[in-house]
Amino acid sequence: MADKLVTIAQFADSSEADLARQLLGDFGIKAVVTGQHAANIYTLPAVAAAELQVFESEAERALEILESSRKQEE
């Protein structure tokens, strides 16, 4: 059975979403950003947000990497 994509984060700014995608890629996790064009056009997150998606089997590890990165930035 094929692994499905799940959304693990939403970003109001598509640049931030792309940086997160690149970070996950550095750890060997394939990720995609969806809705990035809508997020650039609409400024309200309720209208549109860039979503970061990974395969469901890698979601937990991806979230841990993103959380670790956030803590290092603080």
In a domain, 60, yes or no: yes
* Token digits of residue 54: 């990974």
In a domain, 57, yes or no: yes
In a domain, 4, yes or no: no
In a domain, 62, yes or no: yes
Q: Determine the structural domain holding residue 20 and report its residue range.
A: 9-73
In a domain, 31, yes or no: yes
Please tell me the distance from the alpha carbon of residue 30 to that of residue 26, in angstroms, as a whole number: 9
Number of domains in the chain: 1
The pTM for the full model equals 0.80
In a domain, 28, yes or no: yes
List all residues 6 or more positions away from 61 whose beta carbon is below 8 Å from its beta carbon.
27, 29
Is residue 25's pLDDT more than 90? yes
In a domain, 2, yes or no: no
In a domain, 20, yes or no: yes
pLDDT score at 39: 46
Q: What is the pLDDT of residues 28-51, one digit of tens each?
A: 999 999 986 654 555 555 556 789
The per-residue pLDDT of the chain, averaged, comes to 86
